[in-house]
Structure 1
Amino acid sequence: MASSKDAYRRKINQNSDLGVMRHQVVSLSFIATPFWRKNGIGQRSPATCRFPKVLGTTKGVKRGLVLPLVATSSQEARSGVNASELPNRGADRLREAVTAREAAFLAVEQSLMQNATTSDVEGTNASTDSKMSRDSPNASHLSQKFLLSYLALWSEARKPSRAEYALAKIISFNAVRQRMLFDYVLQTNVLREREAMDSVPRRIKSDNLRLSVSQRALLHTALAQYAFMERVPVHTIVFSTVELAKTYYGQRFASFVNAILRNLARYGEKWMPELERRRPAEYIVRPLPFPEDNLNVRYSYPGVFVAKVANQLMNQERVVAFLEAGNLTPQIFFRIPCQFTDTAELRAALEIGLLVPWDGSRLSESAARPWNIYRVDLNCADVDGAGDLVIAANTDRVEWAHALPDTSAKDLFQKLLQKFIVQNVTQAEHIYDLCEQLRARWNQRRRLERVLDLCTAPGGKLTAVFEYLQKSGLGDLLTEYVGVDLNGQRLQMVHENIHKAPGMSKGRVFVGIGRGESFVEYQSGFVVQNADDRSIVPSFDLVIADVPCTNSGVLNRRPEARWRLSERDFATAIPRLISLQTSLLTRALRLSRHAVFYMTCSILEAEGSGLVRSVLEQFPEFELSWERLTYTDTAGRDGGYAALLWRHQEN
């Protein structure tokens, strides 16, 4: 005999579209407790239950922005709009955002929506999408699905101050990075009693209230402020989040948010004296509940990815160091040619502490050293998101916690950006080591005649190779450099970097639009392409293949990239990406007369040494001469893999 609750649900399904949404409810990693239960009100019987007012038009709620208090399996039900309207709808809402917190919330919401509906590691778009990790995307590239794309929309529409933009960036980046940890915090924070959480978190299930993706995003942004912004009072975080909840969802959900966050605040007050023991990592500034033995939740990574890293490193301390580094603010480095080390700009930057010489570099071992590496002091440079912010209580006025650097320091930083190439120390070291290995094998009586970069944007690799070849004598102004990239807009950055490399703009340099996996030749200003490998004749002395990847070595720069490393992605999307990498390396080997530099910003063996060895089985004329795998670390290195493939029986 059917229960009264089942009969009630059938009646709702017959008479209301809202019943359909309830029928499609799927399990999330946490389940929220109804506000009436939080206040000790007895549970209502099905016959007297009513849908919360927030599901309809409620006074004080933004029209058209109301979302249900349930998470459903359909994209339309989750968002309240048709799936085809999501990109434009999200863009419009971001442009209308009034405060930095609101902009951060809407950007995180879009990131969650994308993760729930799509996997962004696609074969056809990977060469442009994944390589955008090293640059700030333009607002027009919403299809590329970057947080910075969404924040750029808001910035262009509202023209926020530097401090306001920095606040939105800090909140949204940390909210997306710490998604799994914050879900755990919400799950353990929903308690039956109105008291602070104890050391053993308790979980309560409820079939009457579940969070939508949008509501989850709002709570994540609140937790990001609580966990990372020590100078922002907790009551200010609660106030601003509750006000946003009222605006978008109505009073009922706002009351629920207020209860959740105040519960967390009491937990923080209780355990602040034991902060070191009560926080997941040193970068968390307030106590948070976390599972001590579950690394993927504690540091917020997909479990399958953590398992793969652990299998590679075979050392828990190194695994933890890698996971922590992926949650830190990424460093900025300049690659400055040796002939510019005595310029007035560089001396001034060193004097005020804007630049710090990179003392971990191995580049000084050779007389062919073409450049020096300098790390940027992010606070001195006034980089967005680097400094501490103070927010006045119960307001949205944002200020810097420290005195801003004087105008001369900021102007000097902008001059350095215009004059020198920004490149992470890992890529600079890998390029240098590869070139050193090439020089050891090359016939010194000859110069390299032609160099090809199959995925050239933004141009850091090609310019670094040019500078090394010029310094070492392996190349001259007659050496031809060819770069191709699928994204024509990003080629502008290649041209800018070419003009920053001393003497390169006067050389024989050709850059064009094309697919690396089908590139054949560059003739008379045009890229010749052919997917048929049989038509290829080796015509380049050196081919560089810095292939698109999962970005697993630069997850601190791409907060959303880690959520494309799920078990589903490893079963579907990532194999397609590896197929693209294989095609690019295969084409590079067919085009090369002597050497191939294979590079990737992934630390996964399947994209590095495993792929190289697999491809070389089909090319017995090549050998793996040298390789290096670098893991992301707290000093500022990105993770990545580099290998030199050398053709046998060379002079």
Structure 2
Amino acid sequence: MSSPPSPFGARAVALRVLLDAEDGREYASDLLEKALEEDRVSALDRSLATALVYATIRHRGTLDRILDAFSKVETEKMEPWMRWILRLAACQLLFLEKIPAYAALDEAAEQAKRHRDLRAAGFATGVLRALQRAIVRIEADASPKAASAAPEEESEWRKSLGEALEERWPDLPHRRLVPIPGGRRAIFDRDLWPDPWQEPAGFAGQMLSHPVWLVRRWLAKFGAAAAVGAMEAGNGHPPMVIRVNALKATREKLVERLRGEKVEVDEKRLHVAHTGPVGRLESFKDGWFAVQDEAAQRVAPMVQAKAGELVADLCAAPGGKTAQLAEGGARVVAADSELGKVKGMGKSFERLGVKSHLALADAKQPPFGRVFDAVLVDVPCSNTGVLSRRVEARWRLRDRDLHVLARVQRRILDAAVAVTKPGGRVVYSTCSLEEEENETLVRAAIREGNGLTLEEELKILPGPEWTCGGYAARIRLMAR
């Protein structure tokens, strides 16, 4: 006999997860998965709790600034439970279109009452009603989309944030504007953000919910329009993107089968609209496709692996790039340092029909000789190119972390070169947009190495065309 459903609703589950994740010891995504399993919530509440947790974390910076405009107590000075109750409710009012305002406000009051008393409930209700009254309108956003790549023209690079905002949202009060992912925007009756001409990083960081130190870097490196595009992409809910398993299906046959399973699919880009667990689809169980972002799919082809070549993927988990390499007939060694991840890859490869040699190995010290024709290292990184999927990364990361990461990444790249045959290739990749982890590191390795040449380089910025971004470079070793 199955267990009864949980008495806890989606908002209660979301609040508990967000509170437990605040100290940073565990990821909210892991806590959410555990809570949904333990509380046995309904399918509807599972979907809502997931949306609440991820949206509230994504928009935390924006929500805090808005709440501060209507509260006598700054959010950072509130007790954690009150802070997250208000963030959750404000998130529903602004960013979750299908939730009635009364439901968000009533539940916030009840949560505050359960945590403290009627006075706390009154405080929460007062702040949220003031916020609600200040929203002039929420409407469709028909403005031109932001740029999706760093512009080549110097005039575009030098364009100020104020100018970029005028192009992105012409004739709108930018300091009163809240962009809402999915093509909507809210207009308030008062200024919320700093002056974009005087404090560009502060304005963009608050309006688009990114740390100011990161915004400052992106404005300087990519230009204002591309930086805004990357931040908007980081706030969006990314589509599920799939890749055809060439060993078992063609694009046409996969699309036909998915539609037979009542799954909406974009035939051109293979974006899938599926709200249930993908593992329940028969086409997935049969290994016809893998879930893999478009930017990530661009990396494995850069290895140029040929049938029969011996190729290593030294940071292989979860195995998507390994599968791509093996589908072309290469003999692939898939290595990772965590046993659980290695076992997970084994199950995935079995489903896909992929042949690969699994290895438990530290990428910084791989237990191999100079035997590989090519090596791929998709190194651990800051994840600044995939903030739409790694929703907590922006708030956990500090600028000093980039140098720590770069030292580890350089060790892995040097180790990859050391196990590659003369004349072979090494492809280095990250999900980061930061130069310390990408161009600067690769050029230093080539400059300090012996007979290394940069053959190809790829950098993708998130934006309207790419929901996620990253970097990859192919390095050629000198033949003897």
1:176 aligns with: 57
Contact 1:467 1:501 in 2 (8 A): no
Contact 2:286 2:352 in 1 (8 A): no
Judged with a 3 Å threshold, the aligned counterparts in structure 2 of structure 1 residues 164 and 585 are, in CA distance, closer, same or farther, namely same
1:226 aligns with: 93
Judged with a 3 Å threshold, the aligned counterparts in structure 2 of structure 1 residues 189 and 171 are, in CA distance, closer, same or farther, namely same
Judged with a 3 Å threshold, the aligned counterparts in structure 2 of structure 1 residues 103 and 97 are, in CA distance, closer, same or farther, namely farther
- The one of 246, 255, 275 equivalent to 1:382 is 275
In the alignment of these two chains, the number of paired residues is 427
2:399 aligns with: 570
Residue 279 of structure 1 and its aligned partner are, at CA, apart by 3.3
Residue 414 of structure 1 and its aligned partner are, at CA, apart by 4.9
2:68 aligns with: 187
Q: Is 1:561 aligned to residue 390 of structure 2?
A: no
Partner SS, residue 399 of structure 2: helix
Q: Is 1:320 aligned to residue 149 of structure 2?
A: no
Q: Which ranges in structure 2 are unaligned for 5 or more consecutive residues? A: 142-171, 197-202
Residue 261 of structure 1 and its aligned partner are, at CA, apart by 0.8
Letter in 2 for 1:496: K
Over residues 204-248 of structure 1, what are the superposed CA-to-partner deviations in whole Å (9 max), with x where a residue is unaligned?
579xx9412232111111111111122222122111000000001
> Matched residues in 1 for 2:177 and 2:336: separation?
44
Partner SS, residue 617 of structure 1: helix
Contact 1:456 1:484 in 2 (8 A): yes
Which structure has more relative contact order (CA 8 Å, sep 6+)? It is 1
Contact 2:89 2:108 in 1 (8 A): yes
Contact 1:109 1:218 in 2 (8 A): no
Letter in 2 for 1:541: D
> Matched residues in 2 for 1:342 and 1:265: separation?
47
> Matched residues in 2 for 1:320 and 1:607: separation?
21
Contact 2:178 2:186 in 1 (8 A): no
> Matched residues in 2 for 1:350 and 1:279: separation?
39
Judged with a 3 Å threshold, the aligned counterparts in structure 2 of structure 1 residues 555 and 463 are, in CA distance, closer, same or farther, namely same
Query: 1:36-55 to 2 correspondence within 5 Å?
Result: none
Contact 2:65 2:206 in 1 (8 A): yes
Give TM-score, length-normalised by structure 2: 0.82
Query: 1:127-526 to 2 correspondence within 5 Å?
Result: 145-190=26-71, 210-268=77-135, 270-271=136-137, 278-283=176-181, 286-288=186-188, 290-291=192-193, 293=196, 294-314=203-223, 316-338=224-246, 340-341=249-250, 346-350=255-259, 354-359=264-269, 374-377=270-273, 381-383=274-276, 413-416=281-284, 418-419=286-287, 420-432=289-301, 434-436=302-304, 448-468=308-328, 470=329, 475=330, 479=331, 481-502=332-353, 504-505=354-355, 509-521=356-368
Letter in 1 for 2:409: Q
Letter in 2 for 1:347: E
Residue 285 of structure 1 and its aligned partner are, at CA, apart by 5.6
Partner SS, residue 511 of structure 1: strand
Quote the sequence identity (%): 23
Give TM-score, length-normalised by structure 1: 0.61
Partner SS, residue 646 of structure 1: strand
Residue 333 of structure 1 and its aligned partner are, at CA, apart by 1.6
Q: Which ranges in structure 1 are unaligned for 5 or more consecutive residues? A: 1-94, 115-142, 191-203, 360-373, 385-409, 440-446, 522-536
Contact 1:229 1:285 in 2 (8 A): no
Letter in 1 for 2:275: D
- The one of 440, 452, 468 equivalent to 1:638 is 468
1:6 aligns with: none
2:145 aligns with: none
> Matched residues in 2 for 1:349 and 1:274: separation?
31
Residue 97 of structure 1 and its aligned partner are, at CA, apart by 7.5
Residue 466 of structure 1 and its aligned partner are, at CA, apart by 1.5
> Matched residues in 2 for 1:411 and 1:112: separation?
30
Contact 2:303 2:426 in 1 (8 A): no
Judged with a 3 Å threshold, the aligned counterparts in structure 2 of structure 1 residues 302 and 411 are, in CA distance, closer, same or farther, namely closer
> Matched residues in 1 for 2:362 and 2:446: separation?
22
Letter in 2 for 1:581: Q
2:411 aligns with: 583
> Matched residues in 2 for 1:625 and 1:591: separation?
19
Over residues 229-284 of structure 1, what are the superposed CA-to-partner deviations in whole Å (9 max), with x where a residue is unaligned?
2222212211100000000122221111011011112112x445899754321425
- What's the RMSD between the two structures over aligned residues? 2.7
Partner SS, residue 340 of structure 1: coil
Partner SS, residue 311 of structure 2: strand
Contact 1:222 1:237 in 2 (8 A): yes
> Matched residues in 1 for 2:478 and 2:253: separation?
47
Letter in 2 for 1:100: A
- The one of 366, 378, 384 equivalent to 1:552 is 384
Contact 1:538 1:591 in 2 (8 A): yes
Letter in 2 for 1:220: R
Contact 1:230 1:285 in 2 (8 A): no
Judged with a 3 Å threshold, the aligned counterparts in structure 2 of structure 1 residues 317 and 178 are, in CA distance, closer, same or farther, namely same
Letter in 1 for 2:461: Y
